[in-house]
Amino acid sequence: MASSETTPLLQQDTPTPQIIPDEEATDARRGTFSRNLGAIDGFALLISIVIGSGIFSSPGPVDANVPSPGAALLIWLLGGVLAWTGALTMAELGTAFPGEGGIQPYLSHIYGEVFGYMAAWSWIVATMPATLAILSIVFVESIYSSLGVNEAYPPLTHKLLSLLVLVVVTTLNSISTKTSTRLSSFFVAVKLFTILLLIVAGLVAVFVFVGGGRDLGGGDWHSHNWFSPRDTVLPDGSRFDWAKVTTWESLGFYSTALYGALWAYSGWDKANYVAAELRNPRKQLPLSINTAIPTIILCYVAANAVYYILLPWKVVSTTDAAAVTAVTHFLGKGVAYFATVLICLVIAGSALGNSFVAGRMTVAAANKNWIPHVLGTVGQIGTLKVSKASDAGPVGVDEALDKGESPINALLLNTVLSAIYILLGNMRILLTLNGLAEYAFFFLTVLGAIILRFREPNLNRPVKPFILIPVLFAVISGFVVVRGAFFAPVQAGILLGIWLIGAVFYYVRLWVLVRAESARRRE
């Protein structure tokens, strides 16, 4: 698989946008991929990119931070709207700049190279390791949930098993990156099949009860108001009284809940990768986005409604494996084991894909001289060569990656960082850290798209959504990032520390490069 489809960093230089006729623009932006896909293919690609493990694991963290099930469903709807507006804006940027890429080249063009570098640093050191840590934790928690074990504070054994999952994923990607990409279609089918089973289970419970039969669900769904505040049961068993919460505090809880939902919508920013293969991006890309994202929203809202039908409401907020818990409650442990296998396959697929992307991102950053060169090698463990590809230069590295060679050093770095997050955090803390890290730069990117509308009005934009679309994303995401940071000061402080280290590293690197260039000229 060509690397640009999976990672936003594999564009070697920030392109200078040119104003060219539409016919020429199509050829100029043809990039690595053949343009042979239609709107239906774009729809399917976006579905496969976005729908992942989040819908099976995030409902608990979302429910724990809202006063009612109805409010939780609105959070899922708001998260979908945010993803929708963001995807359309990313499509504008992705089709306005030649070649493939992601937010790093956009930020570099709009604000300067340091912003592109900081986005890359944040993704490599914070976002991707936190993502892999969450997936490893959820994999283990799903298995324990199927066995009826839901620990408020999982013991060390859970963390050690999560580390084992992480090591297995890294090993598989180190052996062959092609293996994980070849499994992608299988994992897509599994995740869609699992969501369908959940929705069918919920419909069966509703129809049986309405038809005069017994309640096969949790009971609360037909005996309580979905929008009335109730005491939330926290994972440690304590109760939280929403009547005592101020409006400002409520906004903090809602921001945290939204991060949980946004985790499930992760991948919407990859719309521009879909554009690289569409025959007519101007028409087909907006059509793909405007059908795929609403479909995903519908699936997510429906699946969460099913959780509230199948489970007692006090249970939803306490679990980090909502789907497994719901199936266990509805059909018993026997069927729950089968559902657990399906869900663990989905999580494993997501972990393999994210580990694959993390390695590519690190290699690309090393090729830009943003991080040490040894992290951009393939076929090496440290400086020890384990394949002939390790002798390749910068161009050869990309060729070797496409032939299935593994960036082992990059994968090891990501594994070490992910392991630290697993040992020091838990899923709910990491969800907030991940959300803050991602949406701080998403906010800057979309704000930059608005700035470009005025700074470069004549820039050719094959996709140009109405200006209120990026404005809506900027307003909501900006508020969520700021309020979320105040509400979660520990995660915000860790992230600021990571960014500060990155900034110091960037300017020290510049200083060293300038001195080296000066010395070369004197010679």
Inform me whether the pLDDT recorded for 18 exceeds 50: no
Q: Identify the pLDDT of residue 476.
A: 94
Residue with the bigger pLDDT between 161 and 373: it is: 161
Question: Rounded to an integer, what is the distance from CA 381 to the centroid of its chain?
Answer: 28
Q: Give the percent of the chain with pLDDT over 90.
A: 36
Higher-pLDDT residue of 188 and 173 is 173
Tokens of 180: 């994980």
Residue 16: predicted pLDDT = 39
229: Cβ contacts below 8 Å, ≥ 6 apart = 67, 68, 242, 243
Tokens (6 digits) for 7: 């990672």
- Residue 46: C-alpha distances to residues 50, 92, 211, 272 (Å): 6, 16, 38, 10
Task: Give the type of residue at 345.
Answer: L
Instruction: Count the neighbouring beta carbons within 10 Å of the beta carbon of residue 224.
Output: 14
Please report which confidence band the pLDDT of residue 129 belongs to, taking 50, 70 and 90 as the band edges: very high
Lowest mean pLDDT among 48-57, 128-137, 158-167: 48-57
Pairing label, strands 239-240, 384-385: unpaired
Q: Quote the mean pLDDT of the chain.
A: 81
Q: Tens digits of per-residue pLDDT, 213-240?
A: 788 888 889 888 999 988 887 766 778 8
Residue-level pLDDT at 11:
40
What separation in angstroms does the CA of 197 have from each of 275, 410, 453? 31, 38, 45
Residue 96, pLDDT score: 84
Work out the average pLDDT over 386-398: 54
What mean pLDDT comes out for the span 301-319?
A: 91
pLDDT at position 29: 42
- Average pLDDT in the 144-170 region? 83
pLDDT at residue 130 greater than cutoff 60: yes
Tokens, residue 507: 């300017």
Look at residue 387 in the predicted model and tell me its pLDDT: 64
pLDDT band for position 12 (cuts 50, 70, 90): very low
Q: pLDDT category, 353, cuts 50, 70, 90?
A: confident
**Cβ proximity of 335 and 365 under 8 Å:** no
What is the third-level CATH fold of 3-522?
Amino acid/polyamine transporter I (1.20.1740)
Residue 450's φ and ψ, nearest 5 degrees, are -65, -45
Per-residue model confidence (pLDDT) at position 133: 94
Pairing of strands 384-385, 380-381: antiparallel
pLDDT surpassing 70 at residue 338: yes
**Is 255 or 21 the better-scoring residue by pLDDT?**
255
Per-residue pLDDT at 198 exceeds 50? yes
Name the CA radius of gyration of the chain, rounded: 23
243, pLDDT greater than 50: yes
Least confident of 166-170, 252-256, 515-519: 515-519
pLDDT of residue 214: 80
| Strand 384-385, strand 232-233: pairing | unpaired
For residue 108, pLDDT over 80 is answered with yes
Q: Check pLDDT > 50 for residue 337.
A: yes
Between 62 and 21, the more confident residue is: 62
Using one digit for the tens of pLDDT, what is the confidence trace for 33-56?
Answer: 456 567 777 787 788 778 877 888
Residue 320 Cα to chain centre, angstroms: 17
Is residue 380 helix, strand or coil?
strand
**Model confidence at 386, in pLDDT bands (50, 70, 90)?**
low
Binning pLDDT at 50, 70 and 90, where does residue 21 land?
very low
Cα 13 from Cα 123, distance rounded (Å): 18
Query: Lowest mean pLDDT: which of 201-205, 365-369, 417-421?
Result: 365-369
Which of 463 and 278 is assigned the larger pLDDT? 463
Q: What does 32-63 look like in DSSP terms, one character per residue?
A: TS---B-HHHHHHHHHHHH-SSHHHHSHHHHH
Q: For 25-37, give one letter per residue: b (16+ CB within 10 A) or e.
A: bbeebebebebeb
Taking residues 8-37, what's their average pLDDT? 43
Q: Lowest-confidence range among 165-174, 235-244, 313-322?
A: 235-244
The predicted pLDDT at position 32 comes to: 41
- pLDDT of 376 above 70: yes
Mean pLDDT, residues 488-506 taken together? 94
Query: 100, 273 in Cβ contact below 8 A?
Result: yes
